[in-house]
Structure 1
């Protein structure tokens, strides 16, 4: 089968060891988090300190707590400090979002966070998926200076949301990267590319938890390799 142009594979992980596994088995980039079982939180300072030992670029999740993305001023201040820690640790990018009570993007908060992340790559995370108008949110993200939007097309999985993802990619017209995520695997990677035209994919490639690992989301090397192969052919 003819090899197609290289697609970028981003793997989200919740530990340094998982980041190494993902990097060693085909990830082009790491979304570096803690607590993936609650959607991903900011990594600990100790985990951040190990970024330099990861062989591929790391984008750090900036999320101070579980739950919604409606943050008070104190939480936004915490997030700006976490961005500074990620920068000092050598992260190439950060991943964050902030919402108003109605689900629309909190532009005031996001301006502050984007200013704090100046010079770093910036991903708008799945706060995008709770916005009432995806196309308005797309333009807001472009105006704020985000480099990419992580989205499942406002559905439970990227495969279910592929029609909206395709529309977003078309509307973005190269101004911002649309990064499909949620439920991405070797089984649907080619379908997602064919139906959306995406050049990048985001996945967790998690394995089943072992006894004593309740709440743990661990990276499966075989799943990463399989997804990499599916994206490359």
Structure 2
């Protein structure tokens, strides 16, 4: 069995370095914590890429608010992916919906194709889709490798039943990554109840925008190390 993995959502270079130093497996880099994350500045991504040896995924989201894209915003997203590919990030995080709350398969598929050979995570736009089973299948069909979700609730603890259901329905075709209010105090419960492989947290425990190293270490400790069977 593989070890459980931890991704830390970071909003600055300092957090990314703290994440790496304290055992995170991957960083998701974003801007604008108040809106839930938007596309970060190119120069900041460049600096983080130089600082990290662990995987770096970059949020591609032109603005906060809903997840429906205008043509201009879609072009903006394409340009951002093309730019970040040049500095060899490891993956991208985005998610586009239609006005009716379904997955925009055309736009998402185009961005996943553009991102190749890098992997893509469908972010918490999933938490507002109208039909989660149809959306799960659509996201898999688009070529995403991961879905970041709180189980369509305000946090992962409230969404634990849905998260468990999603992990089962995904059946290893895509990684279902619990995120949203995930902390060292509840990650063991999530691990037990969902059986998920990858977990996502900002590890911010105060009013700052900086990850807490002790919290990251605690998250990793709670995940534990799965030993290979002899």
TM over 0.5: yes
Map of 2:228 onto structure 1:
none
Counterparts of 1:189 and 1:208 in 2: how far apart (Å)?
18
Map of 1:160 onto structure 2:
158
Question: Residue 39 of structure 2 is aligned with which of 39, 42, 59?
Answer: 42
Give CA-to-partner distance per residue, 1:61-107, whole Å, 9 cap, x none.
00111111111011000001111122112111000000111211111
Structure 2 SS opposite 1:149: strand
Counterparts of 2:157 and 2:83 in 1: how far apart (Å)?
35
Could you tell me whether the CA contact under 8 Å between 1:149 and 1:176 is conserved in 2? yes
Does the alignment pair 1:224 with 2:216?
yes
- Aligned pairs for 1:1-233 (under 5 A) are 6-50=3-47, 51-209=49-207, 216-232=208-224
Counterparts of 1:184 and 1:228 in 2: how far apart (Å)?
12
Unpaired segments ≥5 residues, structure 1: 210-215
Alpha-carbon distance, 1:125 to partner = 0.4
Unpaired segments ≥5 residues, structure 2: 226-230
Counterparts of 1:135 and 1:198 in 2: how far apart (Å)?
17
Structure 1 SS opposite 2:108: helix
Could you tell me whether the CA contact under 8 Å between 2:109 and 2:143 is conserved in 1? no
How many residues were matched structurally? Answer: 224
What TM-score, normalized by structure 1, do the two folds share? 0.93
